[in-house]
Structure formats: C-alpha cells, structure tokens
Amino acid sequence: MRRMIITVLAFLVLLSGCSYKPVRHLASDAALIKAGTSTRADVLRYLGEPDSHRAVGPGEEEYIYAETRKGALGSMPLFGKLVDPSSQEMVVITLKGNLVSNCEFRLLRKDDQAWQKDAEWDKVE
C-alpha cells in the first residue's frame, strides 16, 4: 500500500511538469523589426497585439510588449509559484504614422537598482 501511494505521488509530480504554456521570445521577435523599414502590419504580425499602447505625440505612438521571466527555480512544479520572477523583458516600439521609427529591447532585473543602497550620496545644500 505504501509503495502504491509513493508511486501515485511520483506520477502526479511528473505529470505536473508536462503542462504547456506558450512562451513569447521578445528578443528574437524584436530583432525582426527594423526601424525605418518595418510597418505597423509587420509589428502586429511578428509580435501580436501590444500589452500597452500610448500616443506620445501627433502622429506618433508607442507599442509596449512585456514578458516576465521566472528565476532559475521558477519553473519547478511544486515550488515554482513561491519563487519571485527575477527579470522582465520589454520591447518598446515607436511608430510615426505607419512606419517604425525606433525599436528598443530592455531587460529589467530585480536588482538593477541595488547599487543605490551602497552608493554614498552627496547632500546638496
């Protein structure tokens, strides 16, 4: 009986690792977009609908695509949800009219601003 319980638990743990969630690869998708050449239709074809959209000027708008990446232990079946994400990928595409004028890929990490804790700030008087 004990062996059967262990076998069933092991099977359930292994089965939970078989779940599938589609993953966006923003870095490689952003490499397909060329400033001055790509159009709005190209952006929507390669990256899909943006996660965020805003107008930044007359005839100029930004599309923002973001994806949170889990840390090294983030994909573990039982403990993955307890681990905080360690980075976020972001693509910011600026469109002037129907043409891409700028495409930036950004990788934001949780500890990017940690240097501020150790820095000695000069007080302005």
Whichever domain contains 98, its CATH number is 3.30.1450
Read off the pLDDT of residues 5-25 as tens digits, 9 standing for 90 and up: 888 888 777 766 666 666 677
Read off the pLDDT of residues 53-101 as tens digits, 9 standing for 90 and up: 999 989 999 999 988 776 666 666 666 656 655 678 899 999 999 999 9
At residue 71, the pLDDT reads 63
Of the pLDDT bands very low, low, confident and very high (cuts 50, 70, 90), residue 41 is very high
Query: For residue 120, is it within any domain?
Result: no
User: Cα dihedral angle (55, 26, 73, 116), rounded to 10 degrees?
Assistant: -50
Query: For residue 61, is it within any domain?
Result: yes
The type of residue at 87 is S
Give the span between the Cα atoms of 37 and 42, in whole angstroms. 10
Query: For residue 75, is it within any domain?
Result: yes
Give the span between the Cα atoms of 115 and 27, in whole angstroms. 26
Q: What is the number of domains present in the chain? A: 1
Give the span between the Cα atoms of 83 and 7, in whole angstroms. 27
Domain of residue 41, residue span? 22-109
Of the pLDDT bands very low, low, confident and very high (cuts 50, 70, 90), residue 124 is low
